[in-house]
Amino acid sequence: MGARCSKLSLCFWPSNTNLNDSSDIENGSRNEDSLPGFSEFSLDQLRVATGAFSSENIVSEHGEKAPNVVYRGKLADDRWIAVKRFNKSAWPDTRQFLEEARAVGQLRNERLANLIGCCCESDERLLVAEFMPNETLSRHLFHWETQPMKWAMRLRVALYLAHALDYCSSKGRALYHDLNAYRVLFDKDGNPRLSCFGLMKNSRDGKSYSTNLAFTPPEYLRTGRVTAESVVYSFGTLLLDLLSGKHIPPSHALDLIRGKNFLMLMDSCLEGHFSNDDGTELVRLASRCLQYEPRERPNAKSLVIALAPLQKETEAPSYVLMGIQHGTSSPKETVPLTPLGEACSRRDLTAIHEILEKVGYKDDEGVANELSFQVWTNQIQETLNSKKRGDISFRSKDLTTAIDCYTQFIEGGTMISPTVLARRSLCYLMSDMPQEALGDAMQAQVIHPDWPTALYLQAAALFSLGMDNDAHESLKDGTSLEAKKHRN
């Protein structure tokens, strides 16, 4: 959510490496001895590292289907880490958890955000990984602020991800659970790495392959099992993300591909920056990955072979292509949430209501109202009366009446007010209608693109829909707009 270019949706490698050197170098396996080893941490160590699991150190959290939270932390030796803390019902078998963690912890590759430890005390189950300071592919692809991801970088992401899957497969860990744009992280050099967390299997909270059935491999829907071919299918959905800059359901994309309309898939921000031949090759590879029959999909090694010749600007460091600061291994300083942002993050609807009522309509200032003077005398007065009745009902929390009156005002079409949309959005939220609330908040952003309130309300609606990652992105976008407004 909140991405630019009219879109309403934590890694290390020498930058001058020739991508066509030996297969060992291509797969990021050089200098593996220099990567951190695997350790078992005490709960006290991780509690200190994360500031007693402070909410300020939360990097991401998932909903009811996969209840876990990822924190950033700093060890006593000044290393930054990512700590994944499962809820108490996950991994009831202590031995199984330790065996899985130790097995994944044996993997060491510079295409992975490697697992460097775990903790298993009492009911606690925690995984510890290298911290990646430059956020996720989802953030850079769907929620960018200064520039869209360049074509050369998108191709590099695809190749490095294929390297990671090929390496894991060669080590007997071909199964990866719910591969998506949140699982691809960027290191201090701007290089993409695959999160090690998806390599863990058989936890009680890992039953759901995907939160969105439209992106789930068809054989998983039939059998409930993840296979190596399922992972390749998910890789195909990531190729669609890279091509389009949007999260497009595979069925829709395949319809466009079959109709030879693949250019309609391409991100409009890339226009003039890629050749049709390259686009065609990537679309062809995506369609092979998305074949309905698993046996018709390529394997991970084939993905590497297909993607290596497509690489562009191979001498350019990733941080240059990404347009990010080079070399920092510490997390970016976070801007504190405003009271409204904090209320939306907690889904405290009463507090949101109090803030919206108190602020009133001052944020509508400067928003153009298109008035039809031909109908001023009757229609505009009736429109204003609808708004007034809506405000009275909103204040008294008569939600049904408020929704009806605000709807009359909006459908009247003679005046435009993002605040009315925001208020109706909250009424929908308080009436347990999060999808409608999200629609109003998005429409308010269209009318007033630089209005943080619209993004905060989108976050509240997304939390209610169980889309926690997207909700956190909206909170970040709203906070960034807030900070920018105060700087100006």
**Per-residue CA distances from 283 to 243, 295, 341 (Å):** 8, 19, 39
Catalytic positions are: 178
Greatest CA separation for the chain: 79
Task: Taking the CA atoms of 68, 73, 76 and 78 in sequence, report the sign of the dihedral they define.
Answer: positive
Angle at 202 between CA 197 and CA 203, to 5 degrees: 70
The DSSP result for 19-44, as a single string, is TTS-HHHHTT-TTGGGS---EE--HH
* Of the candidates 196, 199, 46, the residue with the CA atom closest to the CA atom of residue 121: 46
- Helix ranges (DSSP H) in 333-467: 339-346, 349-359, 381-395, 399-412, 418-430, 434-447, 452-464
* Of the candidates 181, 195, 256, the residue with the CA atom closest to the CA atom of residue 3: 181
Q: How far is it, in rounded angstroms, from Cα 457 to Cα 41?
A: 39
Cβ burial 324-354 (10 Å sphere, 16+ → b, else e): beeeebebeeeeebbebbebbbeeebeebbe
Length of the chain: 488
- Which residue bears the tokens 């959510």? 1
Whether the CB-CB separation of 294 and 227 falls below 8 Å is answered with yes
Whether the CB-CB separation of 139 and 59 falls below 8 Å is answered with no
Q: Please name the amino acid found at residue 397.
A: K
Give Cβ neighbours of residue 90 (< 8 Å, ≥ 6 apart).
67, 68, 125, 203, 204, 205, 206
Cβ burial 227-246 (10 Å sphere, 16+ → b, else e): ebbbbbbbbbbbbbbbbbbb
Angle at 370 between CA 368 and CA 374, to 5 degrees: 155
Angle at 418 between CA 379 and CA 445, to 5 degrees: 140
* Of the candidates 449, 280, 283, the residue with the CA atom closest to the CA atom of residue 363: 449
C-alpha count within 13 angstroms, C-beta hemisphere, residue 346 = 12
User: What element of type H or E holds 225?
Assistant: none
